[in-house]
Chains A and B, each alone.
Chain A
C-alpha cells in the first residue's frame, strides 16, 4: 500500500469513513469474542469458583487471631523456599471450631 497517499484517501469520501468504522467495530467484536471464549474456557476447566468463598471466610476472620502461625519457623521456611523441594508442602491440622465451637 502507498502509505503517503493514505491520509488523503481517508478524507476522500464517505466510503472510506464507513470502512474505518467497520474496521473499528470488527476490532470491538473480536475483543468481545475473545472475552466470551475466555469465559467459556473457564467454565470448561471447572464449574467451581473458590474466589467467592475466600471472600466470605476473610470477612468473618478476626484480625490478629492465628497470627502466631506466620511467625513459626516452619511457616517461614516453607514460604521462603529455604527448605527446598522437600519442604514444598505444609500441612496444618486441627479440628474446625477448635476454638469457636467451645466458645459459642
Chain B
C-alpha cells in the first residue's frame, strides 16, 4: 500500500504540467537488500539519477577521475557523496526525491541518511523530499525535520472497493459467484476494514 503510494506520487510528479522543469530521483528501501543499502549507497543512487539527467556533470567526472588515480581506487565516503549531491541539486531548477519504506533501512544508515538529507536540504531551497514508512520511523523523521508534514495512509472505502472489484474480475471460478454474494463482498469487507483502519489511524499526529 505504502509502496504503491510513492509510485503514485512519482507518476503524478513526472506527468505534471509540461512547463515544469523537474528532476525526480527515487529510492526503495528493502530489508532484503540491507547489506548493500548503506547511507552512502542510497545517496549515491539518488545522485546517479540526477547526474544522469543531462550531460554527466563535470565535477562528478573529475571526482571520479581523481579517485581512480589514487591507490586502489578509493571508494566514496558519505560526506563526499553528500557534497556531490548538493552540487548536482544546485544545477537543477527543481528536485523531488522520493524514498520509500524508510523503516526497512538499518537504523544506523537511516539516521545517517536523514542527517545527510537535512544538510543538503538546508542549502537547497528548490529540493523537496517525499518519504514513506511504517509509523515507528515517524519519531526519527521529526527529529531531523522538525517541520515535516505528516499524512497517515490507510486505504479508504473507495480504494478497498476498487481492489475487490479487480480481484473479482480476475476470479478463476466465476461460476461460483452470484450477484448477491458479489454485492455482499463489496459491501461488508470495505466496512469491516475501514473500522480496523480507524482504530489504527488514531495515533496522534504532531500539529
Interface residues of A (CB under 8 A from B): 37-38, 40-42, 44-51, 53-54, 57-58, 60-62, 64-70, 72, 74-75, 77-79, 81, 83, 85-100, 102-103
Contacts and interface: CB of A to CB of B under 8 A. Distances in A.
Contacts of B36: 47-48
A41 B3 CA distance: 29
B162 interface: yes
A58 B61 CA distance: 32
A98 B1 contact: yes
A7 to B, nearest CB: 33
5 contacts: A37-B61, A49-B48, A65-B4, A93-B2, A96-B2
B109 to A, nearest CB: 12
A69 B9 contact: yes
A90 B149 contact: yes
Given A91-B131, A91-B148, A93-B133, A79 B13 contact: yes
A102 B125 CA distance: 41
Interface of B: 1-13, 16, 26-28, 30, 33, 36-37, 40-45, 47-49, 51-52, 56, 60-61, 64, 67, 76, 81, 101, 121, 125-135, 137-138, 141, 145, 147-156, 158-160, 162-164, 166-167, 189, 193, 196-197, 200
A48 to B, nearest CB: 4
A46 B8 contact: no
B9 A58 contact: no
Given A45-B44, A47-B36, A90-B130, 12 more contacts: A48-B42, A58-B7, A66-B4, A81-B126, A88-B129, A89-B145, A90-B150, A92-B131, A93-B135, A94-B135, A94-B153, A103-B164
B2 A94 contact: yes
B11 A58 contact: yes
A77 B30 CA distance: 29
Contact of A98 (B121, B149, B197): B197
A93 B138 contact: yes
A68 B119 CA distance: 32
A93 B152 contact: yes
B147 A87 contact: yes
A95 B63 CA distance: 40
Given A57-B28, A61-B7, A98-B1, A92 B152 contact: yes
Contact of A96 (B3, B160, B162): B3
Contacts of A45: 44-45, 47-48, 51, 60, 76, 81
7 tightest A-B contacts by CB?
A: A46-B44, A94-B153, A99-B155, A86-B147, A48-B45, A46-B45, A45-B44
B61 A103 contact: no
Nearest to B165: A62
